[in-house]
Structure 1
């Protein structure tokens, strides 16, 4: 019998099918005709969804009847799903999802440049090859560890390696679960800035996660100093840290004390319950995230890497690419 299928873009397809054909097989035919994966299809007949296991004749489909196809939108979890060989189930959607998240892409460029380049280059084959290769490497490593265990289960060194492998497996599984269900968690922290004056000195106020504060030496404390936000002055206390990469951070304690509200809808910081509103800075007015990266320390790193045989332009580019991290830049230049 002939069945007419109307697609989401209102095209009409005439298909020859057997009355006893299953809905799943009809979807398989439509996948060939429309390039919409079977898993993303939803078929409706007489206003009801057709289930995969049902036969066309059993749900009343007759010769000349009309069936409507509705493509399902992928959830973020579905987009990040992988096949048994490690490749992406829907590589095009995977590319679009990751490439559309600028923060996630920035994180990948720093931590996983080869994967980032495949995504930026819209190279599906390279993306799938990278994912498969890493899956094969993980599988091979697991097989080698199991072989070691069976070879001599009572060997002390073997037991240590197996224990480490078990821990690493847990970490890998946690990583994969996080990447699948919470990919935004791998993005960089976004800093917000506003114009302020502390004790009469103008500066840009950092707002965000105090990265590295826990590792900084506390040099002392300023019990009170006037801080100007907008046109008003507020008394604030400060902890002085040995942290050259952080000029000034207005912390949660002061945000709470002065009843501040971060209004991302209007892109302003409201202070004193709304009596003062100052806009967050964008573009050129905002300070560089790492103002010291181009100083003497940066030049020292450039010199060391150039002495290893790399040309200066490549070294500078690699250091900027990895935010001044000499080890990561060296590994990148060596092809690691």
Structure 2
């Protein structure tokens, strides 16, 4: 029958074997295909360790086209530094051997650059690379020891102990989560990538602008800097000033009731809400999209308005802030100058809550009078409110790793070692 062998790097090898073959006889074949020595092999099927070398594939109900995960046993923490790798030149550590192998293989180098920028950036510095590599090995070994100890404790626990049963159920749940993640990484790995937001090229008063298209935002928004550059700030109606409240708050300076925006060959009338501190020059909101019956066509990657098609920008054409955001290196609220939603694009999050901007003024905005809004005058701008220092990593990434069964400290250490890449940190821990 045909089975698939895979390792933690995602390599797949298909082999033809008998269902009655014993695991110890399968070990040389695994070494030939994946390069893992028999003494270091750990075989897993459906999340379960295949520990008996005399057992057969059939005894574990492994059938046609089933997948066996092969992991290499890690030495105890510090062992890599204490001895040289077998078969390597004398004095060559595992970290240095791994560094040389990465530099010699363009495919591994490309994969590492994508998955762990911090580690790939240290390839030119052997000392820094060894420090990061050993930290990753230490975290992995420590987690494996903790998991093995937890399983031994559960095996020896009283079967009638309610707390022990609860812990067993939790371990089963974590194993299912890990298997679900492995399935996702195997069959649709694109779900772990970052989505590039939708931007188009347009012109406002002859000035080119990259506009962010967001059907989840209620109003079309422009930043004060962009309004100055487009020479429309003199049309600002300050009677519509106020505070936009959603996920965070932002100060609304007022409204430009009518101006023209050139999209493709079309000149479209538009009303703009001028808002501070959103890190985006121009945002096409739902009011603009509905008014002109726009169609966001993701199949052809265009915004279609009155049969005029305007393509969405590729990642390299995005504004600088959007490029940082797509790579996961977006600056904090303090450096950007305004609040944002955690783990979401800052502009649409606040714009979605800007109910006071379009149409008739809402309670968050002042009524149309000759003077400025009392609420706007009383409320300080968001940038003036003291804010706590941002954590090194997103709380959602830390919490996601903790849900897989590690402590908060281990999750943060893994994210540090992987340059903040949550997917790579999870694969390193498990």
The answer to whether the superposition gives a TM-score over 0.5 is no
TM-score by length of 1: 0.42
